[in-house]
Structure formats: structure tokens, C-alpha cells
Amino acid sequence: MNFLPIQLFDSESSTYTYILAADGEAVLIDPVDKHCERDLAHLERLGLRLAYVLETHNHADHVTSAGRLRQLTGAKTAAPSGCGIAPAEVQLNHGDVLRFDASEEIHVIHTPGHTAGSVCYLWRGNLFSGDTLLIDGCGRTDFQSGSAEALYHSVTERLFTLPEPTMLWPAHDYKGRSVSTIGWEKRNNSRLSNRSLEDFVQLMNNLNLPPPRLMDVAVPANRNLGLPH
């Protein structure tokens, strides 16, 4: 089995979902509700048993299919402990390690900023960065206990200190880009590269973005893994 991540896309929310596959098991990161059947078909085609469904944070722009995938496959759900997703069996903290297919390890990196509980996942030199670090950008910090200062420290102290060849797989991209590297982002990210904390906070506090269209629906739904209350 090839150990490259499988990247899937939702065009409505520009969300990337990832399948991490080992010899007989798989992990799904940030699934989207309307693509549940698509994701299950990929797993069946590749002969993979779903071990975990992971969330990088409580998403505000789409509803997750984590709960439904758990019901259909028996997989465990895992979410950051600081995101208020109480039904997830595994509540993740910084430094935790998730294991699947006996020998595969996913390392949890707490990266507050986009939301207070946001995490990234590191697996085999691949970083799944959620909304914390995007390709030539970063997640917004103006809702869900977001903090521009916290995001700056998360990226510069916990992500930019990873080896430069580390592959960066974001939760979103809006310009047709699929992957980057930590080294490229350190040198070229227009929001973070060579920018002081003070400049970054000023930039983020003046973006004046409209709220996500589905926020009022998605946030409460995702606290229940996308299942009806």
C-alpha cells in the first residue's frame, strides 16, 4: 500500500478531506457530510477498514460526517479536547499519539488560534494543518475563541520548527492548490513569513470578513459529530 495521503475535495466549502492508508486500515481527517458515500466507496475500493475519524477543529463552514461514519463502520471518532465535541470517544491533547494498523503513528500538535482547540496532525512527514496554516495564508481568528496572537505563536513555534521538507496538507484552499511544504511557507507565506507578531495581529484584526454562511448550522451540528440532536 502506498503511504501517500489521499486528498478529496468538497467544491462548495473548498474543504479537503484526507484518507491516510496503511496495509489494512485507514484514518479519515475532516470528512464532509454530503460526501459520506464517496468516502466509504474509496475505502471499500482499497480494501481498508476505517479505524479513526479525526477532526482538526469544530468547522464553521460545513457539517462533518464523523458521527455517521462511526455508525456505519464502527470507527472511533477523535477530536481536539478544547473544541467542545463531547461525543467523540477520543479527546485529543498536545503530544498525544494515535496508532492504527499496528505500527502507524499520528502525532497531535495543539495549534490554537483559528479556534482555541485547533490541532494539526503529523504522519510520516505529512502535516495536516486544518485551518491553522493554509497555502500562502492561514485561518481567520475572529470567532470561536480565535486569537491572532495565539495563531502566530502556534505557527512560528510549533509548525515552522518542523523539518522544511514536511509536506503541508491544508483543510481548505480556494485557488486550486493542493499541497505545499513547511519550508516554502516559512519563506513565502504572505500572512506569516518575515512578519512580526504586532504586524500579524494588526493584519488579522482588520480583515473584516463576513461570517461563514453555514456557521449557525455547522458549529452546533459539529459539536454532535454532525448527527441530529
- Encode the chain (229 residues) as per-residue pLDDT tens digits: 567 899 999 999 999 999 999 989 999 999 999 999 999 999 999 999 999 999 999 999 999 999 999 999 999 999 999 999 999 999 999 999 999 998 999 999 999 999 999 999 999 999 999 999 999 999 999 999 999 999 999 999 999 999 999 999 999 999 999 999 999 999 999 999 999 999 999 999 999 999 999 999 999 999 999 999 8
> Does residue 63 lie in a domain region?
yes
> Does residue 228 lie in a domain region?
no
> Does residue 229 lie in a domain region?
no
**126: CATH:** 3.60.15.10
- For residue 155, what pLDDT is reported? 98
Overall domain count for the chain? 1
Question: Whole-angstrom Cα distance, residue 51 to residue 121?
Answer: 16
> Does residue 141 lie in a domain region?
yes
Question: Whole-angstrom Cα distance, residue 32 to residue 62?
Answer: 7
> Does residue 53 lie in a domain region?
yes
C-alpha torsion sign, points 155, 156, 158, 160: positive
Question: Whole-angstrom Cα distance, residue 71 to residue 200?
Answer: 42
Q: Residue length, the chain?
A: 229
pLDDT tens digits, one per residue of 111-145? 999 999 999 999 999 999 999 999 999 999 999 99
Domain range for 177: 6-223
